Amino acid sequence: MAAPLLSDVLPDLIEEIVHLLQGTGAEPLETQVRALHLESICDCGDDNCASFATAPEVKVANVVELQPIEGHLIIDLNAAEKICFIEVLGRPDVRYLIEEYFASLK
Ligand SMILES: [Zn+2]
């Protein structure tokens, strides 16, 4: 199965991230964020976690910490400044949407 586009699974999260990027100096990431694929779900097993990988290989070299109203959102970048992972914590809404999406494929 090809990795789904993030915009198909979590369109609202994309808009939230783009909004939160404003004023961080990392606004150019918007183009990447809109084109991300959801490669795999974090398997840490934490109920609080809705993180996911957006690249086949995750090697974090830099992070952009956003300031959402609820929970934690951190964009992980590799050495080439490509987004490889998005850390999502304390966001049951995001977790629910991811679970719904994958349940709908079965
Ligand atoms: Zn996790």
By the 8 A CB rule, do 14 and 2 touch?
A: no
* Radius of gyration of the chain from its Cα atoms, rounded to whole angstroms: 13
The tens digit of pLDDT for each residue in 14-31 reads 999 999 999 999 999 999
The tens digit of pLDDT for each residue in 41-95 reads 999 999 999 999 999 999 999 999 999 999 999 999 999 999 999 999 999 999 9
Cα–ligand 1 centroid distance for 27 (angstroms): 25
pTM of the model: 0.94
Cα–ligand 1 centroid distance for 15 (angstroms): 22
By the 8 A CB rule, do 84 and 76 touch?
A: yes
Cα–ligand 1 centroid distance for 16 (angstroms): 20
